[in-house]
Structure 1
Amino acid sequence: MKKNLLIELLETGEKVSLYSPRFEGEEFTEFEKFLLTYKDSYTKDVQILIRRLDIIKEMGAEDRFFRYEGSKQDRVMALPLEKKKIITIIGTNLNGPLEITINTDN
């Protein structure tokens, strides 16, 4: 069974408006369904996503807010992955004061 796909306005910002697809007969848009599905189990990640979208609405959809997926010619882009630092602390106290080495990987 075919369903018509509608594009609905979610929010209007200063420089960008956000839209989401909604299948005809469905109560929620695909973005709203995503939020409802993941808001409780991935609260922090959903908050990060909402904050990034708020920044884009306010400042515009500039390239610096996205990362390329594929070639630059395709202009297929996604929100960047959250940068995480992995910190390893190694300590020794064999002959004198404690020496600590900190390695950070991005």
Structure 2
Amino acid sequence: MQYIMRYALKDGVASDFRDWVQKNGQEMGDHAADGWSYLGTYFTVMGFGTFEVETRWEVENYSTFEAGFGDDTFQRLFGEWNDFINPNLPGETYLMKSAGDVAIME
């Protein structure tokens, strides 16, 4: 399953955030809780999309959400990451399964 977060950045920090992600994104993934795999952070281009940025994680299963939030390094990096996000523009979060894995109930 993919856990996808879409969000807006504070004004004037996009370049700094991009640089921060390039420097720290993989380390944040390396220190995430068991069952979480960092897939990357993506920016919208050419005006497409409601939000500027999307971060994607692969999660093993639903119990992954009970695993906590990673170690102290992850907590520090997550705090730094969160400082770039605009708190006045609520983002969106999705939990997605592939078409082959989803059960359809009609």
Pairwise TM-score range, normalised by the shorter structure: under 0.3
Structure ranking higher on relative contact order (CA contacts 8 Å, 6+ apart): 2
Larger radius of gyration: 1
TM-score (norm 2): 0.27
Richer in strand (by share): 1
TM-score (norm 1): 0.27
